[in-house]
Amino acid sequence: MSQRYPNYWEYIRVEELLALQGGLEEDEAQLSDDEVMFITVHQVYELWFKLLLRQLTTVRNLFRGPRVEETELAGVVQGLRRGVVILRRCVDHFEVMETLRTRYYLEFRDKLTPASGFQSAQMRQLEILFGLEDKDRIPLGVEGSYVTALRSHDGRSSPALARVQRQQEDLPTLRHAIEEWLWRTPIDGVGPDEPNADAALDRFVAAYLRAHEGEVDHSAAAALVHATGADEHSRLLARYEREKESLRQFLGGSEAEGGPRQRRMRAALLFILTYQDLALLSWPGAVLEGLIELEQAMTLFRQRHARMVERVIGRRTGTGGSAGVDYLDQTALSYRVFRDLWAVRTFQLRRSAAPALANPAYYGFVTG
Ligand code: HEM
């Protein structure tokens, strides 16, 4: 059989791709330059979302097994890195959309109604893959839930809805997979199923709380020197006391704080971040940094979208019927998935203030 050599246009499917910007008219010649740009930019986003979903699913899959090998953590970090870079490009792309002047957008905007970006199934898939829960979503407005918004106008299912439903069944979410991994992380060399697991955890938590109190007292002493008057003195003192109390609560293991399981995961987060200079913990540390970068990029995407929307349409009602910019700003504020990862930033310590490792030999750290 003779070998077939492809052309660029065959491999990339250029002709098929270029035939997709005709809009509802299915004919580009009938559309303004603005509308072709509007359609093309959305299509570019959907392609980036497709890649992101694929890449982050691979990352999630690497965490699926009962044990994650160190060599696989390098793959996770690489996958997260690509995800972050793609999301940052998504943030930049809004600049192209911003070349759309309000009066020109209004020329064709009404014909889109009630279509809207909130019917982007792939964005919903990404949120679900991250681990955003339905209870944490903000109501959209007239369309009801985000799931109803994906139904066809006659109420029947749609390819968009089917995608999202498949995603809902594709478990675990990235968040749950990471939480499992954190739960299994040995603390001071002791895993959760070993007989002295609780004792090792308690020891680390107590040592960390002591070190943290010392650091907060240190900062408080430096700040109180500058307090002018008794009122400011006691206000500052109370603020620093609250900092200590919030870490005690965070690591307290009460039901309100997610119980003992959450306590272990939170302690593991602090443990990895405190000792990430150790060879055994450097990949786990890089995974955690990659995750926070990813969620930060997602938040910036939401914020950037909202600013672009404000510039193009002001604060009018969205084509999908939501409160528009107000709704988008709320999602940027509250759609956080890796909340504990953000929370621990408040509790991290200077390197020199970290409590001593209880079991340095486990980490190949030998002194003397
Ligand atoms: C002139 C351009 C755009 C305007 C005026 C605009 C406006 C809006 C508005 C007002 C909403 C809130 C829902 C509604 O009531 O419709 C929304 C949602 C959304 N838009 Fe855009 N948008 C624009 C471009 C884009 C682009 C290029 C993307 C890229 C994919 C995008 C993605 C989304 C997504 C994913 C949502 C859902 C957000 C959520 O529910 O959290 N939008 N858009």
Instruction: Report the residue among 116, 119, 317 best suited for mutation to probe ligand 1: largest number of ligand atoms under 8 A from its CB.
Output: 116
Buried b (16+ CB within 10 A) or exposed e, 135-173: eebbebbebeebeebbbeeeeeeeebbebbeebeeeeeb
d(CA 188, CA 192): 11
Spatial separation of the C-alpha atoms in residues 352 and 355, rounded to whole Å = 9
Mean pLDDT of 103-109: 96
Q: How far is the CA of 302 from the centre of ligand 1 (A)?
A: 9
> Three-state SS for 216?
helix
% the chain with pLDDT above 70: 98
Count up the domains in the chain and report the number.
1
Q: Token pair 């580009």 is at which residue?
A: 28
Question: From the centroid of its chain, how far is CA 99?
Answer: 28
pTM above 0.75, yes or no: yes
Cα 60 to middle of ligand 1, angstroms: 27
- Assess if residue 31 is contained within a domain: yes
Q: Answer yes or no: is the C-beta of 125 below 6 A from any ligand 1 atom.
A: no
Please tell me the residue having the least CA distance from ligand 1 atom 35. 117
pLDDT at 368 over 60: no
149, part of any domain: yes
Contact 45 CB / ligand 1 (< 6 Å): yes
Q: How far is the CA of 23 from the centre of ligand 1 (A)?
A: 17
* Residue with CA nearest ligand 1 atom 34: 117
- Whichever domain contains 157, its CATH number is 1.20.58.480
CA 121 to chain centre: 17
Please check whether residue 133 lies inside any domain of the structure: yes
CB atoms within 10 A of CB 55: 17
Q: What is the pLDDT of residues 242-290, one digit of tens each?
A: 999 999 999 999 999 999 999 999 999 999 999 999 999 999 999 999 9
Is the minimum distance from the CB of 62 to ligand 1 under 6 angstroms?
no
From the CA of 36, how far away is ligand 1's center (Å)?
A: 17
In a domain, 356, yes or no: yes
Within-domain flag for 1:
no
328 lines ligand 1 (CB under 6 A): yes
Which structural domain range is residue 329 located in? 20-363
184 band by pLDDT with thresholds 50, 70 and 90: very high
